[in-house]
Structure 1
C-alpha cells in the first residue's frame, strides 16, 4: 500500500506490531460522579472492572475496550477520581477566566466557540470499531440513554455525526450509509476517506483539565480494494 507521507531520513526503523502498541489512557471523573462516567463506557461496550483505590475513597476502574480479548495489557482505559490538588488548580483557573459566567474572558469565549464548531480540533481520543454495526449500536445506546436519563443527557454537550462518502463509483458505501440507522439522516461527511466519525463532547470525565471536558471520537473505516487510503494513513484532502 502506498503512502503520500514523508519520513525523516534520520528517523529510526519503524517498530513492528509485535513490539509495541497503544497501551492505555488515563481518564478522571469528578468525585461523586463515577456512576455517570462508568455508564458512558458501558454504553460503548467496554468491559468494566472495579478495584479499591488506596489514594482515594472513590474506586478505580479498568475498562477493556477489546471485549474479544479483555485481559490484554493494551486497549485499556483507567478511570479514577480527580486529585484534590488538580481540583484546586482548576477552581483558580476557572475563576480567573470567568468560566461558567455570563462574561467569560474573550480568549476563553473564542476557544469554546471554536471547539463547539470543530470538536476534533481539541485534544481528544478516538475509539476505532472493527464493525460498523457495533459503532451504530453504541451510538443508538447513547442516544437512548440521553432520551431516558436527563442527568446523563445534560453531560453530553454535543454529538456530531459524520457519514462516509463513496468515491470513484464506490456505491457500496453510499448504499450502506443510506440504510444506516445512525448515518442515513445526516448530510455532513467525515474528514477522511472511506470512514465515518462521531464526535462526542462531554464533561463526564477528563483527559486533562476537567474544566474543559473531553472529546471522544468513534470511528469506522471501510476497507477493501480501492479503499487503501483513509484518514489514518493519508492526507485528508
Structure 2
C-alpha cells in the first residue's frame, strides 16, 4: 500500500507483496480475581467469550472472538488472561515511585493523566471496527445500562468520549443519521476524520500494557460510498 503521508517531504513507500489479510490477535490482561468484570466488558461489546484452562495460572484463559458470527476463526480474536506476579510487583514499585493514588503524584504522571483525559486516543489503545452502525450503538447502550445497574462495573469505566460523524458539504444522509441516533444525536463534537464515528472508552478492567495506566478501547464505524472517499479509513474498508 502506498503511503498517504502529506506535506513537503511526501514520499511513496515501496509496495510489498503480502498474504496477511487481518489482525491475528491482541493479548490483554486482567488483575487476578477480576475475570468476571473483564469478560463482561467484551460480552457487552458483542464478543463471543470462550473459557479455557490455563496451565500457567489458577485463573482461566479466555479467547474472545470479536466477530461472534464466526467464533472459530483463528484471527480477529483477543486473548484475555491474568497478569503475572512479576508485572504486579513491578507496577507496585512504579506506582510507589511516582506517587500514584496520592495527593502529590510525580509531575510527569499528573501531566500524562491530564493529557489522556483530554485526548484518550493519544495513549496506547486498540480499535474495534463495526460493520454496522446499529451494532456499535447497541454496544454503547449496553455498556451504559451495565454501568447504571452494576456500580462495581460502572466504577471501572473512567470515561466514554463519543464523537459523531461529519460528512462532506451536502452529504445530508450522514447528518440525518446522526440526528436520529440514540447515541450520537445529542453530541456536539466530531470524530477526527470525516465520515466516521469514534467512541473512546477508558477503563482499568484490563491492561493493554501497564495496568497502572489502564486501557483505551476505540469503537469505530465509517460511512462508505460515493463522495465519501476522502478519508484514509474509507479507502481501506469495503
Partner Cα distance (1:166, 1:199) in 2: 20
Partner Cα distance (1:139, 1:158) in 2: 12
CA deviation string 1:79-135 (max 9, x = no partner): 000000000000000000000111100000000000000000000000000000000
CA contact (8 A) 1:191 1:231 kept: no
1:13 corresponding residue in structure 2: 16
2:86 corresponding residue in structure 1: 85
TM-score (norm 2): 0.93
Change (3 A) 1:219 1:50: same
Count of aligned pairs: 230
Give the match's secondary structure for 1:127.
strand
CA contact (8 A) 1:163 1:190 kept: yes
TM-score (norm 1): 0.93
The answer to whether 1:143 aligns with 2:144 is yes
Which consecutive unaligned segments of at least 5 residues does structure 2 have?
none
Give the match's secondary structure for 2:217.
strand
2:162 corresponding residue in structure 1: 161
1:40 corresponding residue in structure 2: 41
Q: Quote how far apart the aligned CAs of 1:70 are.
A: 1.4
CA contact (8 A) 1:3 1:233 kept: no
Q: Quote how far apart the aligned CAs of 1:166 are.
A: 2.2
Q: Could you say what the CA RMSD is over the residues aligned between the two structures, in angstroms?
A: 1.6
CA contact (8 A) 2:32 2:59 kept: yes
Query: Where in structure 2 are the equivalents of 1:50-199 lying within 5 Å?
Result: 50-199=51-200
More displaced 10-residue stretch of structure 1: 213-222 or 61-70: 61-70
Q: Quote how far apart the aligned CAs of 1:229 are.
A: 2.6
Partner Cα distance (1:185, 1:224) in 2: 25
Which consecutive unaligned segments of at least 5 residues does structure 1 have?
none
Q: Quote how far apart the aligned CAs of 1:68 are.
A: 2.1
Give the match's secondary structure for 1:228.
coil
Q: Quote how far apart the aligned CAs of 1:69 are.
A: 1.5
- If asked which structure has higher relative contact order (CA below 8 Å, sep 6+), I would say 1
More displaced 10-residue stretch of structure 1: 64-73 or 117-126: 64-73
More displaced 10-residue stretch of structure 1: 20-29 or 194-203: 20-29
Q: Quote how far apart the aligned CAs of 1:13 are.
A: 1.3
2:213 corresponding residue in structure 1: 212
